[in-house]
Structure 1
Amino acid sequence: MYDILIADDSAEIRKGLMLKLKWEDYGFRAAAEAADGAEALAVLQERRYPVLITDIRMPVMDGLELLRECAIRFPGTKTIVLSAYDDFPLVQTAIRKGAKDYLLKPVIKTELIAALVSLKRELDAEKERTIAQLSRGELPESEAASRIRAYGLAEWALAEQPVRFAVAEMRIPEARAPGGAQSGDSFKEAYRLLMTEIASQWGSHVETFGEKERPDRMFFVVHSDPSVTRNDGDGRQDGLLGRFLADVREKVVRYLRVELAIGVGHPVSGYRNWSAGLASSLLALSRSKSDKVSQTIYGDDPDEDNELSFAILRRFCLAVENADEGEALQTLKEISEAGKRSSVQAFSFFLVQLGLRMGEIIRKYDLKNLDPLRLLWPYINSAWDCDAIDRIVRDIREMTLQAVASLKGLKGKGREDTIEAIRKYMHENYGEELTLSAIAEQFHYNVAYLSDSFHKSTGSTFSDYLLGIRMDRASRLLQESDLKIVNVSELTGFSSPAYFSNVFKGYYGMGPNEYRKKRAHT
């Protein structure tokens, strides 16, 4: 269910929209309202809403200024604009500023429904990507909480209520379709669509996501009910999870005539532990039999005092990504020592997590000839003695040295060129919204590493350097043109003239009007 914020200066129109249809039937809830753009921004500041429906003409702050502010401060919010027939030029401007759709007043119910259906498709895809990123530990902390709330995942990801991950791998009996239609891309797409449809029928109890690299696999996140447990001969199943998996198996066999191997992870609470839950489901799947018979394998909880924690994994991967060979090898030594004191299950579980996280780094930087999961998979659940652990660590060490060497080549030799390219980009695009995280993503850098490298190369922080560019350009526009302050503000990347004037005064010791007058007399 996605929450909607409605902004219109007419209370009658706001009320009419809320009563126009049964929003819940289309996956939405008309949850909040605002009388103008400034009030809408204040509401969004308190809590991010995934959808905003706004009038174009409003007092205090109109719809166009609201759209501009949303694009800067709440870029994930989808907007639909309301307009009268004579507002079409403004509608065109709104579309250019990122509005997803527009509705003419008075709003026709069928047109509103069509706009909502289109938006829901887009939001569902983004929600799936968000769940996948949370599950793999890919989403930065700075974005996680707002994305979780925007997509209605707070009960899952922020609360203490446990969830369990399950991975379902499609297995096609060779006798059934030797090289036939069941092995093609269209069949795998049918599998994905069926699994998504099954999950949707379980409402708020189940979420699902897939991965491009393995179209034969689908992942589920299921609300866990530890108070209801039973054994039905197919392993341990809590009530909801057991019924859901039985439903999945029955429908996949009935509609697609294939078998399923399902790995079920241990319960985890809070999104910071989701990557551990995902890893434990993959570890459970790794213990499945190689035949084509449907089977469900449950993973045990990891050791509570396990020294191979998420913290040591994060430290190792951060060192690799920052091309810090010394720190990476030192952390690997600690992993080796902790592995010898851990159970086979705990160490195997850690190897799956390590393979997943290293795989993210390798994909992010497009490093060739490195496949950590393929390297580590033969060792999963077979590290029975210290000699085996030594062999594993030697292989990980070799992979680490290769990754660090490749990253040093990217970040060492090319670092100054990259920083220069970023500086050039900033000088050419200072009028747009520029953030360190967006630049880091565009140039394929870790945010912390780029921040440090930029400071070392320029002697300034990213934000100070950008501010310097904008202030220099603003001062020249004030001296060399008759542009109004509002235009100078917009051209130099500021969202409002008042904010621009405050920043300018803090930088030059006087406001823009005073600066212009003084320069005119010199």
Structure 2
Amino acid sequence: MLVDGEGIRSSINGKVDWEVLGPRIASEASSGNEALQLLQESFLLQLIKDEWNSMAVIRERLQQLQLNPLTANDLNLQIAALEIKVPSEKGTDRQEWKALLKLAFQKLCRETSSGWKGIYPFRDEFNSALMYFLVILKSGPEQSHKTHRFIEELKQSTASNLRLECAAGIGEQVKGLKRLKNAYTSCMLSWNQSPNYREAEGESRQVRELMQFFTPEVERMLARVIENMDMNAFRMHLDALFNSERDAPMFVFTFLALRLLLVFSSIAQKFELGSSAVQKYLWKCQISIADYQSREGIREKIEELALLVMDEVQKIRLSSGRHMIEAVRKDIGEHFCCEQDLSSLAERFHFNETYLSGLFKQHVGIPMDDYVTRLRMAEAEQLLQENKLKLTDIAMFTGYSSFTGFCSAFKKYSGRSPKDYRERYVKRHARN
């Protein structure tokens, strides 16, 4: 294990010897397995943050990334979160120390997860001290405690190896990937309100009822209202959600707010160009939203955030066609490894298919299919140059379900086979 042995246990006054550990972390962060792990983690986070219209596309990408167990029809899952409490010392050297500390924590989480079947870690890009875990649960009494046992093991290992305490959250069990966002939201509710949130059966039942309400169809309806910049219609939906006659504890309204934050985040992901400031702000609001003491306070904050997102949408929707195509191109750039056809993109951005196709070619200069191919080939060239992955893995990672299809596309694009391209690149740079 990375976080084991002399490097991590050598300490003075309880502090880790980072002069030993730092180089070890860096040396172990460049393998082919590491590349696959990072791709898997990135896609799991995308499943939570992004808007998805096709489960078939999701399942295909999961298979490409060797996450086949997550494609099962009878999937039963849960999400957990663990955050290390990093000391607040300031100064440049302290900042470097804290960065290494977080990196060591991430390594520990990945290595601990690898010893458990059906547990997949992924990282919060805006909070490097926090890790999430997607846990597959099967039937049986032992499985009901699987997530708790894993989190306890990881907390003990973190305390032993890194001398740090942790804050944990464990979400409700859900059935199927379609309910993954609900699993995530209930996890964040648990994490946000720990240790005040008690997992009483009555409270758990209320959260499950709310999760049943937030279906993909409801989410799409709310997204359409926001993307149409219809604040009056959005307030009507909030009236139903934050009903003053509803006799419910504050954690219910916190859950609703967290779930709406995911809707806002997916829309900001689509329409925010040139910066991720709004996305970062929304993501951080997951932490601060639990501080509100009244449903009126939470509702006021949600309305403020809805207006913020609508403003981002307005900048794109009411501007020139070029800005709208830039949003489409950004979206393609983030998902080019998945099979997104023109129809799904047109629906996602509220375009007529024919109009979108013509507008894209007009502003980008090439058809959309050719643009996707170029992105895939550029990614393939980068992976071939790094010379860490097998050719069949590169084919899958760049979105090709067939290795033959990948080779054919690559040769048509570069004039060489992937194997020949890699060999020539390695030889050329070996001489330099």
Whether TM exceeds 0.5 here: the answer is yes
Assess, with a 3 A threshold, how the Cα gap between structure 1 residues 183 and 297 changes in structure 2: closer, same or farther.
Answer: farther
Assess, with a 3 A threshold, how the Cα gap between structure 1 residues 205 and 173 changes in structure 2: closer, same or farther.
Answer: same
Where 1:222 maps in the other structure, the secondary structure is strand
**Map of 2:299 onto structure 1:** 393
Unaligned runs of 5+ in 1: 1-116, 230-236, 424-432, 471-494, 497-522
- 1:44-84 deviation digits (Å, cap 9, x = unpaired): xxxxxxxxxxxxxxxxxxxxxxxxxxxxxxxxxxxxxxxxx
**Map of 2:126 onto structure 1:** 213
Q: Distance in 2 between matches of 1:420 and 1:186?
A: 36
Where 1:325 maps in the other structure, the secondary structure is coil
Kept in 1, the 8 Å contact 2:81–2:169? The answer is yes
Q: Distance in 2 between matches of 1:286 and 1:346?
A: 13
**Map of 1:96 onto structure 2:** none
**Map of 1:280 onto structure 2:** 186
Kept in 2, the 8 Å contact 1:225–1:240? The answer is no
- 1:217-275 deviation digits (Å, cap 9, x = unpaired): 0011122356326xxxxxxx933223322221121111101011110001011111111
2:282 to 372, 384, 392: 372
The two structures have a TM-score, normalised by structure 1, of: 0.51
Assess, with a 3 A threshold, how the Cα gap between structure 1 residues 401 and 421 changes in structure 2: closer, same or farther.
Answer: closer
Alignment of 1:169-188 (within 5 A): 169-172=83-86, 180=94, 184-188=98-102
1:353 to 259, 266, 271: 259
Q: Does 1:250 align with 2:156?
A: yes
Q: Distance in 2 between matches of 1:277 and 1:356?
A: 12
Q: Distance in 1 between matches of 2:181 and 2:338?
A: 27
2:351 to 452, 465, 469: 452
2:111 alignment partner AA: E
- 1:93-121 deviation digits (Å, cap 9, x = unpaired): xxxxxxxxxxxxxxxxxxxxxxxx95544
2:233 to 330, 344, 361: 330
Q: Distance in 2 between matches of 1:402 and 1:196?
A: 36
Assess, with a 3 A threshold, how the Cα gap between structure 1 residues 186 and 309 changes in structure 2: closer, same or farther.
Answer: same
**Map of 2:428 onto structure 1:** none
Alignment of 1:120-139 (within 5 A): 120-139=33-52
Q: Distance in 1 between matches of 2:32 and 2:304?
A: 47
Where 1:255 maps in the other structure, the secondary structure is helix
The higher relative CO (CA closer than 8 Å, separation ≥ 6) is in 2
Q: Distance in 2 between matches of 1:241 and 1:181?
A: 32
Assess, with a 3 A threshold, how the Cα gap between structure 1 residues 258 and 438 changes in structure 2: closer, same or farther.
Answer: farther
Where 1:184 maps in the other structure, the secondary structure is helix
Alignment of 1:241-320 (within 5 A): 241-289=147-195, 300-303=204-207, 305-306=209-210, 308-310=213-215, 311-320=217-226
Where 1:238 maps in the other structure, the secondary structure is helix
Assess, with a 3 A threshold, how the Cα gap between structure 1 residues 137 and 399 changes in structure 2: closer, same or farther.
Answer: closer
Q: Distance in 2 between matches of 1:409 and 1:338?
A: 28
Superposed CA RMSD: 4.5
Q: Distance in 2 between matches of 1:421 and 1:196?
A: 34
Unaligned runs of 5+ in 2: 1-29, 330-335, 371-407, 410-432
1:313 alignment partner AA: E
Who wins on radius of gyration, i.e. which is larger?
A: 1
Relative to total residues, which structure has the larger strand share, 1 or 2? Answer: 1
**Residue 338 of structure 1: CA displacement?**
3.0
Runs of 4+ that moved beyond 4 A = 137-140, 179-183, 295-299, 301-305, 367-370, 373-379, 416-423, 433-440, 453-462
Q: Does 1:165 align with 2:79?
A: yes
Assess, with a 3 A threshold, how the Cα gap between structure 1 residues 355 and 160 changes in structure 2: closer, same or farther.
Answer: same
Relative to total residues, which structure has the larger helix share, 1 or 2? Answer: 2
**Residue 189 of structure 1: CA displacement?**
0.7
Q: Once the two structures are aligned, what percentage of the paired residues are identical? A: 17
Kept in 1, the 8 Å contact 2:229–2:313? The answer is no
Q: Distance in 2 between matches of 1:389 and 1:185?
A: 37
